[in-house]
Structure 1
């Protein structure tokens, strides 16, 4: 009405704010004390993250280390715009380090040559936590190291394990909790498997990676899962796969992308999806081959699934590229990401306000 002070209900303001990029929210902290407090509440962080995951999922791409590239890290957003990480903290560390995993806007970075073995980093709010050293990581004796999130306990965890290939009855696993800020060591016994290796993927709070079962004919691939909430391992059979296979997430379910090279010039790709079973709780697992793509006329190395498309490296003529393959329509398209042809790794990524409880590298978001 004429003369009334402009007013928006708090729920409408909140609904507008959750749709904004993190950079804008960091600026708007100075608008009022109420907004500054709101942006730090778990409910708003969760709402903003949910919107970011579903409306603007991004693809994080890391080139191999190049001397004249300041960060060698790029993001492809849902608008198909590529932007580069600007002046990231711990630049030398991140440039030479390896990204272990990406979860809800947090990145876990490993650097074997540094005294700071692991970092947890939120690039959007420019916050970094230095993870305390652990004996397994310090000595370098490990063959499992993964990063993931459990929605049941609302906690992020790093899992490092040493599983010797000598039929040992007991293996050592160390679990770092971002919420508690400390490591916990566990002695566990995996039945029917001789070893566990990275890399893997975390789906609905359960971490999955490859294991190897001893048999009369040698090694047989099995899937090892680790429930982050109850911290228990389970070993289950794997479907019949091609020579190369990697874990991914498809329609919020565990997926396996399996591929092989035919005649050194064509790639065959299968997509398997797990329809039942959630980690260590003991359900029966059922695998379904959703799609088979045969053949694609070049050498593809699938890395992840983004917006329900398989993202791969294409290596060879006419040039190296990132290839997006739709398993439903079987259509493919290429996109140039970064400055260089070959990529070191690709992750799903979404901007978030999730804190890591560490130091702020810079307060200048303007």
Structure 2
């Protein structure tokens, strides 16, 4: 009986030690929490979404607001050299709106589109903290917030019915902003008046923190020329507009002060009549590319400073054989379109880095956004189905 008892005790003792060691290894993970958090914050969103299944502690950590903010800051610094590009095009046969992502050195991947396919038109603005806004022009009456990296979206209900066309409104212009003090993503919906209007533009503001719209008091009178903001700098949106004063009608920039919730006019760079221009974000500043239409065109790069105004940063080129400049990335690469498609152009080496053409895309339908992925989610977001 004694050997049997000893053998049984040995088995029970071995099992107990093994289970205890396994639990300890899983819970402690051999590394301090701070180091684990730092390592995880350097990983791409796709990897982190898989790592949420490792254990409850990792799932809880990856969902914390502080971790999400830290991850986005690290993504911003890591992606300065190789930007991801969100591409919006129209299909030549079906006329459907196609949304794609280019992550160098990978190929272009079509994304699941969260916008209602039965609507004939769609515009895109952003991104802010990895979130973009899709809406239907000219009235912005269907608004969807979308995180492409998380594959989640949310339809935003409107405050009230759309004003009648005869009410003096031309269209609605949409912009995104971010209030860092309140940690709140904002949608701005500006009702644009005609060039001869004398009344301030009605403005509606949506808070993703409070999940509601409110009418914003506005004293600015101007004629905004596009259905989206032209650029977003550190959470602050800018528009191009015509304003009328004692001098007459002239082009100005309109900036939204996120803290004070008011609009302000800024001077616009004067250009020649035949000069083309494109607003871009350069080193977290508002920039503008200007060029003249010809076979070998140089591109002037301008940057605006709040105190000194516009100053010329550099001249790049010559660029050969392009029809238009689609945009510019944070790292200075220029996206240009010609008869063969869309090209990613390195102005330093004067060479083409990549072709960004989407199959069956309509010429001149390309809209590109310099994209930074994030883990940010808005309450009520759901998974985008194929």
Which TM-score applies when normalising by structure 2?
0.79
SS at match of 1:309: coil
1:271 aligned onto 2:301? yes
Q: 2:60 aligns with which of 37, 43, 61?
A: 37
Note the 1:340-355 alignment, pairs <5 A: 340=360, 342=363, 343-355=365-377
What's the offset of the Cα at 1:72? 2.7
Confirm or deny: 8 A CA contact 1:205 1:227 kept in the other structure: no
Moved more, 105-114 or 160-169: 105-114
Partner-residue secondary structure (3-state), 2:345: strand
Question: Do the aligned residues in 1 keep the contact of 2:99 with 2:111 (CA within 8 Å)?
Answer: no
Deviations 1:158-202 (A, max 9, x none): 1111242223132211111111111111242226x4545444111
Does residue 292 of structure 2 align to residue 260 of structure 1?
A: yes
Unaligned runs of 5+ in 1: 278-283
Residue 21 (1) aligns with residue 44 (2): yes
Alpha carbons 2:257, 2:263 under 8 Å: kept? yes
- Cα distance, 1:88 vs. partner? 4.2
Please, which moves more after superposition, 286-295 or 333-342?
333-342
State the secondary structure of the residue aligned to 1:356: coil
* Larger fraction in strand: 1
Per-residue Cα deviation, 1:35-60 (whole angstroms, up to 9, x for no partner): 11111111110111122222133111
Contact 1:108/1:120 (CA < 8 Å) preserved in 2? yes
Alignment partners' CA distance in 1, 2:271 and 2:139:
37
1:224–1:233 Cα contact (<8 Å) kept: yes
Q: Aligned equivalents of 1:363 and 1:144: distance in 2?
A: 28
Change (3 A) 1:184 1:91: closer
SS state at 2:213 partner = strand
**Would the aligned equivalents of 1:162 and 1:172 in 2 still touch at CA under 8 Å?**
yes
Matches within 5 A, 1:199-218: 199-214=229-244
**2:380 aligned with 1:361, yes or no?**
no
Hey, what's the Cα distance between the residues in 2 that align with 1:362 and 1:321? 28
Task: State the alpha-carbon separation in 1 of the partners of residues 207 and 372 from structure 2.
Answer: 21
Q: Which of the numbers 95, 116, 122 marks the counterpart of 1:97?
A: 122
**Aligned CA distance change for structure 1 residues 260 and 216 (closer, same or farther; 3 Å):** farther
Residue 320 of structure 1, aligned match among 335, 338, 341:
341
Aligned counterpart for 1:308 among listed residues 331, 347, 351: 331
Aligned partner (choices 153, 160, 163) of residue 182 of structure 2 = 153
**Which residue does the alignment assign to 2:9?**
none
2:254 corresponds to which residue? 224
**Whole-angstrom CA distance in 2 between matches of 1:86 and 1:14:** 29
Q: Which structure 2 residue ranges, 5 or more long, are not aligned? A: 1-20
> Distance in 1 between the 2:153 and 2:174 partners?
19
Of residues 90, 102, 106 in structure 2, which corresponds to 1:81?
106
Deviation at 1:93, TM superposition (A): 6.3
What is the rounded CA distance, in whole Å, between the counterparts of 1:219 and 1:330 in structure 2? 41
Aligned to 2:153: 128
Q: Is the 8 A contact 2:139 2:172 kept in 1?
A: no
Match of 2:359 in 1: 339
Is the contact made by 2:128 and 2:235 (CA closer than 8 Å) also made in structure 1?
A: no
Mapped to 2, the partners of 1:308 and 1:244 lie a distance apart of 22
Residue in structure 2 matching 1:55, options 78, 94, 111: 78
Structure 1 residue 288 corresponds to structure 2 residue 314: no
- 1:48 aligned counterpart, secondary structure: helix
Deviations 1:69-100 (A, max 9, x none): 997322222x4212414444456269953212
Return the TM-score normalized by structure 1: 0.83
Q: Shift in Å at residue 129 of structure 1?
A: 1.2
* 1:120 shift after superposition: 0.1
Task: Give the root-mean-square deviation of aligned CA atoms.
Answer: 3.1
Query: 1:12 is paired with a residue of what secondary structure?
Result: helix
When structure 1 is superposed on structure 2, of 171-180 and 92-101 the one drifting more is: 92-101
